Amino acid sequence: MQSLALQESTGKEKKTMAEHRFWNTQPVPKHDENITDMGPIEPSIPVDQVSKELTALPKEFEWCELDMTIEKDAKELYDLLTLNYVEDDEAQFRFDYSVNFLKWALQPPNWRKDWLVGVRVASNKKLVAFISAIPVQLRTFDKSTLMTEINFLNVHKKLRSKRLAPVMIREITRRSHIHGIFQAVYTAGAVLPKPVSTCQYFHRSLNPKKLVECGFSRIPQSWTLARMIKHFKVPEKTSIPGFREMQQKDVPEVLVLVNKYLERFDFAPQFETNADVEHWILPHKDVVWSYVVEDPTTKKITDMVSFYSLPSSVIGNPKHKTLNAAYLFYYGTDIISKGTEDKHEDGTPKLLSKRLNELVGDALVMAKRLGFDVMNGLQLMDNGLVLQQQKFGAGDGHLNYYLYNWRCPDVDDKKVGLVML
């Protein structure tokens, strides 16, 4: 299957360190470094010594901040990204984050307007580049650090390869330092020095006919489309008793459930307050969908599963304009408290595997009902326990996870618990 391999697949040749004119100068590990300890690469500087000067831009451009509470700003960012953001290697698909999605992604608790940084053409004020930061409390192994999560780096297609990206990165670094944050986390399809983990994309077809017509999937050899449709059919109804949409009243229980679940991983965010869960997990219309299992007897919330909507524009297809993709997001189950020691011969924990398959199976039922064409997921968290059984197929994309100014041993993909948008 095709996939939106963020910008490049990891199979591409990587540059040598000397060829990384910019990354060579930054506090990140070298490609060949084997890291066994954890901590900052360079020391923090006193906040009052951080430069107050904007990073220098070529004179035809100027810095701006985007205020996502203002419709005009949100729409301008949408317009930049929808035409210029991440495409797959063959330029068949391009991410098409909706305005509401961008508002959600960029305004979590403690968001800052000065971390939503744009570049405009000085003469006509056209928005031509963007980079964002939001705060995240990230645990790597046993250390938890307040970092910035960097995303949505984009330079207009006409301004590529002019070394604007390093300027954007320097400026967002300065703006992070100003607020006393000296570490960051980011993901990219591009191979940069040096991934802390790499996760493969997987895709679960929900609308095989459309995926084939879009060139996203192919009919397997010796199969017919009819056979493919039958193969990917999902049940009409969910299977778990007590499975229902998450509501406001569930927030405190979901906070405990999801944090407990994330303890299983070596690279995971910590949801600190109810407000975090209310923002990231409680359903937001047309953006994120979340379901809980309420035990019919005890009324306790025992499980949670969520996915978000990230459509892609289908480029130059006569029949379809948009591919409606859902992405598997956070989940959690209290089954882990009942033990994960009882294992199948291949080592998969029986109870956990069974429960996650039920949960993701029910999420697929909901996604199909909502009109999604495909459910995408990464080989991270415990997704490996469900991908095969739920008929996900391996894609050709990979996503690399990176840390800035934080030495950290490599993290196995199954130990990654951070899902970035």
Ligand X SMILES: CCCCCCCCCCCCCC(=O)SCCNC(=O)CCNC(=O)[C@H](O)C(C)(C)COP(=O)(O)OP(=O)(O)OC[C@H]1O[C@@H](n2cnc3c(N)ncnc32)[C@H](O)[C@@H]1OP(=O)(O)O
State which residue, 86 or 381, has the beta carbon closest to ligand X: 86
- Least distance to ligand X, CB of residue 233, Å: 35
Amino acid identity, residue 84? N
Catalytic residue among 6, 211, 352, 421: 421
Residue with tokens 């999801």: 258
- Least distance to ligand X, CB of residue 202, Å: 20
- Least distance to ligand X, CB of residue 403, Å: 9
- Least distance to ligand X, CB of residue 81, Å: 8
State which residue, 160 or 350, has the beta carbon closest to ligand X: 160
- Least distance to ligand X, CB of residue 194, Å: 12
Question: What is the Cβ-side half-sphere exposure of residue 36, based on CA atoms within 13 angstroms?
Answer: 0
- Least distance to ligand X, CB of residue 299, Å: 42
Q: Give residues with Cβ within 8 angstroms of 159, minimum separation 6.
A: 128, 129
H runs (alpha helix) in 53-163: 71-84, 99-106
State which residue, 182 or 280, has the beta carbon closest to ligand X: 182
State which residue, 109 or 166, has the beta carbon closest to ligand X: 166
- Least distance to ligand X, CB of residue 77, Å: 13
> Going along 141-295, which residue ranges are E strands?
143-155, 184-188, 197-205, 243-245, 267-269, 288-294
Rounded to whole angstroms, the Cα distance separating 219 from 231 reads: 11
The reply to whether omega before 194 is within 30° of 0 (cis) is yes
Residue 360: its H or E element: helix 350-369
Residue 320 CA: distances (Å) to CA of 289, 315, 375: 24, 9, 18
Decide: 7 and 180 in contact? Cβ < 8 Å: no
State which residue, 186 or 232, has the beta carbon closest to ligand X: 186
Decide: 84 and 154 in contact? Cβ < 8 Å: yes
- Least distance to ligand X, CB of residue 271, Å: 21
State which residue, 144 or 357, has the beta carbon closest to ligand X: 144
State which residue, 155 or 366, has the beta carbon closest to ligand X: 155
Q: Give residues with Cβ within 8 angstroms of 114, minimum separation 6.
A: 65, 175
Residue 230 CA: distances (Å) to CA of 202, 209, 211, 366, 370: 20, 11, 14, 18, 19
Residue 257 known to be catalytic: no
Rounded to whole angstroms, the Cα distance separating 401 from 384 reads: 18
The binding site for ligand X (CB under 6 A) comprises: 6-7, 15, 20-23, 85-86, 148, 150-155, 160-166, 169, 172-173, 176, 181-184, 186, 188, 190, 192, 404-405
State which residue, 7 or 82, has the beta carbon closest to ligand X: 7
Alpha carbon of residue 127 to chain centroid: 24
CA 353-418-258 angle, 5° bins: 60
Rounded to whole angstroms, the Cα distance separating 226 from 124 reads: 53
Rounded to whole angstroms, the Cα distance separating 270 from 15 reads: 34
**DSSP category for residue 114:** G
> What are the catalytic residues?
421
